[in-house]
Structure 1
Amino acid sequence: MRTEITELLGIQYPIIQGGMAWVAEYHLAAAVSEAGGLGIIGAAAAPAEWVREQIREVKRRTEKPFGVNIMLMSSYADEVARIVVEEDVKVVTTGAGSPEKYMKLWKEAGIRVIPVVASVALAKRMERCGADALVAEGTEAGGHIGENTTMVLVPQIVDAVKIPVIAAGGIADGRGAAAAFMLGAKGIQVGTRFVVTKESQVHENYKEAILKAKDIDSKVTGRSTGHPVRGLRNQMTKEYLKREAEGASLEELELLAAGGLRRAVVEGDVTTGSVMAGQSAAMIREQLSCQEVIERILQEMTALLKQGAEQAVM
């Protein structure tokens, strides 16, 4: 399947893996790229040399394109921005800030820059500063989120910019992918579905929490701080939301959540840890390989789009 995104990134299928902190490491990124999508290493707040090691490990496992997601509010962002150039990374996605100060450096190195955006205003700004494409991420996504849903955000951003748009948030199967393309997207970003793959190195407790999730289990904490985060409800989210309602300070809330994602992903503490996952968690019921996930999404999407085209002719 060829689109502007596959042509831009040199990949087989227009499917990008989300750059999830503590989850998107070299095993997962390499597996997604080998399967024809674009694997992403999530740099998050990790030290720059850890990112360099991850890049080299991916290269040992695949010769196909992959990318690095840089969280721009990280204290290591400047160093990571240079390392992706030194290590000849082909694609960078960005979040939690604006990559404008790195654009010249990355462009001269031939890196494709794809910011993750949650508003039309930010999308236009990123296009002006030289972005090659955009990930329009709806509030259905896991982790840090905006307010607009994927259904309304994607078409607005498609209409507002000339560069290709990748849809994200709530996409876990061929139905979501087909909808994204009908909204004008040229590719999709998938996060939560890849968390539960066989190649994903997250703790089995984390995977099991997603596999058991129901539609009512998705909760958003941190709205009062201006940094909302979506995850699965547990003892930590219950306590966090209670304290938010009581008017707890930012410092108190940050202390409650500190280290929570690592506890869940690495240690398997899905009770007091932060089990970041999108609303699509309730749609995931089995653990597949990255190859199987991509193939199933493509098969379902192709069948649905073909069916829609046939019905339109009738």
Structure 2
Amino acid sequence: MVELNRARAEAALAGLWADGCRFLGTRTAILGGAMSWVSERHLVAAISNAGGFGVIACGAMSPDRLAEEITATRALTDAPFGVNLITMHPDLDHLVRVCLEHEVGHVVLAGGVPAGATIKALRDGGVRTMGFAPALALGKRLVRLGIEALIIEGSEAGGHVGPVSLNVLAQEILPHLRDVPIFVAGGLARGDAILSYLEMGASGAQLGTLFAASQESIAHDNFKTAFLRANARDAVTSVQLDERFPVIPVRGLTNNGTRRFLAHQAEILRRFQEGEVSREDAQLEIEHFWAGSLRRAVIDGDIENGSVMAGQSVGMVKEVKPVTQIINDLVDEAIQSLMQRKAG
């Protein structure tokens, strides 16, 4: 009877994320979030080899560097993977050509509303396109522009985030946008939580924090240890002191760097008010504070002064696991949840 119940639960889960799996070409509809310095060849290939969908974080890569990373990833996996491109990248058109030349199957367009011409160039080249929808109206607009799948990412996520939680975004978007597969993201660390969103109409889920702390992640041991020690409340968004000098919200672990950033803003504000710096120069000094800080934390292991980007799900990271175990655990948690219901 237990085996029968499990088989039924497995079939139910397969049905719930069937659209996501078909779109990605994978066994599970679990995407790896594109994290700069972390989502490189080793982690991306590990996620794809484990039945998920790895995504290269292009970030500020040059076209040649991206081409190198795609080739290196393909040497590590025969499974599907994608590339995340930032729409504000000054060499976006060239990066698109690199993806087309290397026959990348999927591209995630992030960091702003992509141009219709960019979407068309990718689709004409046979690439499947994904985009981020922080609101229902924008999701509908992206679909009209030709985006084939959406990611709705809540403010619980790590790194650059919007102001709305996944719980609210899911209620706003999932019941009303059924034309394309939608993947949920932000604060996810358990399979039963993913299951709840699948039952609301999602086609899959994107996770970052769990994978950043995996065995295959190239992140420094100090970075991973910081995740193991952190609670959910330790992952906070950057604070803006004055509305005249906007600060892009970034969620990460509080440390000496975040405290210094507040003092830095206060000092710049004082200098601006006393006429020592122009508004433009003051804004640049604020923005430049974190330059190179993510690399310092991820690669160099400076978790006190670097930017330790992490989602609120960091409080559920209790050990450094292989990617295969992470994905298998997520699937098993969803299946166990379904089995318990049927048993009840």
TM-score of the superposition, structure 2-length normalised? 0.86
Instruction: Indicate the SS of the match to 1:227.
Output: coil
User: Is residue 227 from structure 1 mapped to residue 248 from structure 2 by the alignment?
Assistant: yes
Q: What whole-Å deviation, never above 9, does each CA across 1:179-224 have from its counterpart, x for those lacking one? A: 3223321100010100011111111111111111112211111555
User: Partners in 2 of 1:184 and 1:243 — Cα distance?
Assistant: 44
**Structure 1 gap ranges (5+):** none
User: Is residue 154 from structure 1 mapped to residue 170 from structure 2 by the alignment?
Assistant: yes
User: Partners in 1 of 2:126 and 2:342 — Cα distance?
Assistant: 38
User: Is residue 191 from structure 1 mapped to residue 224 from structure 2 by the alignment?
Assistant: no
Question: Greater CA deviation, 97-106 or 246-255?
Answer: 246-255
Which of 229, 232, 245 aligns to 1:215? It is: 232
Provide closer, same or farther for how the CA distance between residues 233 and 10 of structure 1 changes in structure 2, counting only shifts above 3 A.
Answer: same
User: Is residue 274 from structure 1 mapped to residue 307 from structure 2 by the alignment?
Assistant: yes
Q: What whole-Å deviation, never above 9, does each CA across 1:84-142 have from its counterpart, x for those lacking one? A: 11100001112111223311111111111111222222211111101111000000000
Equivalent residues, number: 311
C-alpha deviation, 1:300, in angstroms: 0.3
C-alpha deviation, 1:153, in angstroms: 0.4
User: Is residue 126 from structure 1 mapped to residue 147 from structure 2 by the alignment?
Assistant: no
Which of 70, 82, 85 aligns to 1:67? It is: 82
Amino acid across the alignment from 2:206: Q
Which of 311, 326, 338 aligns to 1:293? It is: 326
Q: Say whether the 8 Å CA contact 1:18–1:189 is kept in structure 2.
A: yes
For residues 94-109 of structure 1, what are the structure 2 equivalents within 5 Å?
A: 94-99=109-114, 100-109=116-125
Which of 105, 119, 140 aligns to 1:90? It is: 105
Structure showing greater relative contact order (alpha-carbon pairs closer than 8 Å, 6 or more residues apart): 2
Instruction: Indicate the SS of the match to 1:159.
Output: coil
Partner of 1:10: 25
User: Is residue 57 from structure 1 mapped to residue 90 from structure 2 by the alignment?
Assistant: no
User: Partners in 2 of 1:116 and 1:222 — Cα distance?
Assistant: 24
User: Is residue 177 from structure 1 mapped to residue 194 from structure 2 by the alignment?
Assistant: yes
TM-score of the superposition, structure 1-length normalised? 0.94
**Structure 2 gap ranges (5+):** 1-13, 270-281
C-alpha deviation, 1:173, in angstroms: 1.7
Q: Percent identity?
A: 37
Instruction: Indicate the SS of the match to 2:252.
Output: strand
Instruction: Indicate the SS of the match to 2:175.
Output: helix
Provide closer, same or farther for how the CA distance between residues 222 and 250 of structure 1 changes in structure 2, counting only shifts above 3 A.
Answer: farther
User: Partners in 1 of 2:324 and 2:155 — Cα distance?
Assistant: 27
Q: What whole-Å deviation, never above 9, does each CA across 1:249-285 have from its counterpart, x for those lacking one? A: 4222212211110111111111110011100011101
User: Partners in 1 of 2:120 and 2:228 — Cα distance?
Assistant: 43
Amino acid across the alignment from 1:171: L
User: Partners in 2 of 1:227 and 1:101 — Cα distance?
Assistant: 27
User: Is residue 116 from structure 1 mapped to residue 132 from structure 2 by the alignment?
Assistant: yes
Root mean square deviation, CA, Å: 1.6
